[in-house]
C-alpha cells in the first residue's frame, strides 16, 4: 500500500516530536497532557500531547494503525479533510479526557491514540463492510463489529481504570471521527442509517452512564 503524503507528514510529525520527548524529559513534561497544567492555562498541551509517546512500541502501534486506515479516509474525502478529521479527533480526545478527569489535577497522558481512533472510526463509518482480523481471532470480522466492541471495551476501561491507557482519549477521538465524518458526508445518515445508529450506541451508553454517575 502506497502512503499518501498527508499520512507521511502526520507520521513524520509524530516520530520527530516523540523522539525529542524520548531524549528530553523536560520537553516531554512540558508538552504532555496534564489536567493541572491545562487548567492553569497551558491549553496547547491538549494538542501537543497527541504527538508525544511513552516509548517506541507505543509510537509504532499508533502509527501502524494509522497506516492501515488512513487511505480509506483519504480515498473518500481527500487529504485536507483527512487532516481535519485527524486534528478534530485529537482535540476531541483531549476535551473528553479533560471533562472526565477535571477533578484529578495529577492526571496525565500522551499519545496519538485519540486522533488515530478518530480515523479508524471514520474509516469504519465509510466502509463498514471492511473485514478486519485480530491475532487471537482466527476469522476476519466486519469492521463495525470491532469498532463497537472497541468502544464498549473503552467504557469498561474508563469505569474500571483499566491499565495505564487513555481510554477516555480513545473514546473522545472516536466521537470526533464519527461526528466529523457525518458533517462531511451527511448522506450516510440516509444511505446507511442502521450503521450510523449502531456506531452511535456506545457513544450514547457513555453519556447515559456519565449522567447516572456510573463513570
- pLDDT 10s digit of each residue in the chain, 215 long? 678 999 999 999 999 999 999 999 999 999 999 999 999 999 999 999 999 999 999 999 899 989 989 999 999 999 999 999 999 999 999 999 999 899 999 999 999 989 999 999 999 999 988 887 655 556 787 888 888 887 887 788 777 765 556 778 888 999 999 999 999 999 999 999 999 999 999 988 988 888 887 76
| Residues belonging to the chain | 215
Q: What cell was used for 186? A: 451527511
The residue whose grid cell reads 476535551 is 95
Give dist(CA 128, CA 25) in Å, integer.
41
Q: Does residue 53 contact residue 110 with C-beta atoms inside 8 Å? A: yes
Whole-prediction pTM: 0.90
Give dist(CA 113, CA 51) in Å, integer.
10
Give dist(CA 44, CA 185) in Å, integer.
30
Give dist(CA 11, CA 95) in Å, integer.
22
Q: What cell was used for 96? A: 473528553
Amino acid at each position: 500500500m502506497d502512503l499518501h503524503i498527508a499520512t507521511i507528514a502526520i507520521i513524520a510529525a509524530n516520530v520527530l516530536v516523540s523522539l525529542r520527548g524520548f531524549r528530553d524529559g523536560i520537553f516531554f513534561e512540558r508538552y504532555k497532557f496534564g489536567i493541572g497544567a491545562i487548567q492553569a492555562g497551558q491549553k496547547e498541551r491538549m494538542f501537543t500531547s497527541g504527538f508525544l509517546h511513552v516509548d517506541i512500541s507505543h509510537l509504532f502501534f499508533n502509527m501502524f494503525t494509522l497506516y492501515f486506515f488512513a487511505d480509506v479516509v483519504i480515498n473518500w474525502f481527500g487529504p485536507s479533510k483527512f487532516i481535519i478529521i485527524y486534528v478534530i479527533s485529537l482535540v476531541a480526545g483531549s476535551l473528553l479526557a479533560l471533562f472526565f478527569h477535571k477533578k484529578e489535577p495529577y492526571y496525565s497522558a500522551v499519545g496519538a491514540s485519540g486522533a488515530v481512533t478518530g480515523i479508524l472510526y471514520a474509516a469504519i463509518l465509510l466502509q463498514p463492510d471492511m473485514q478486519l482480523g485480530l491475532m487471537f481471532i482466527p476469522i476476519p470480522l466486519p469492521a463495525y463489529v470491532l469498532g463497537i466492541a472497541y468502544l464498549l471495551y473503552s467504557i469498561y476501561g474508563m469505569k474500571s481504570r483499566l491499565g495505564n491507557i487513555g481510554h477516555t482519549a480513545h473514546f473522545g477521538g472516536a466521537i470526533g471521527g464519527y461526528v466529523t465524518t457525518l458533517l462531511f458526508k451527511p448522506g450516510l445518515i440516509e444511505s446507511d442509517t442502521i450503521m450510523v445508529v449502531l456506531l452511535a450506541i456506545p457513544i450514547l451508553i457513555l453519556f447515559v452512564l456519565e449522567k447516572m454517575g456510573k463513570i
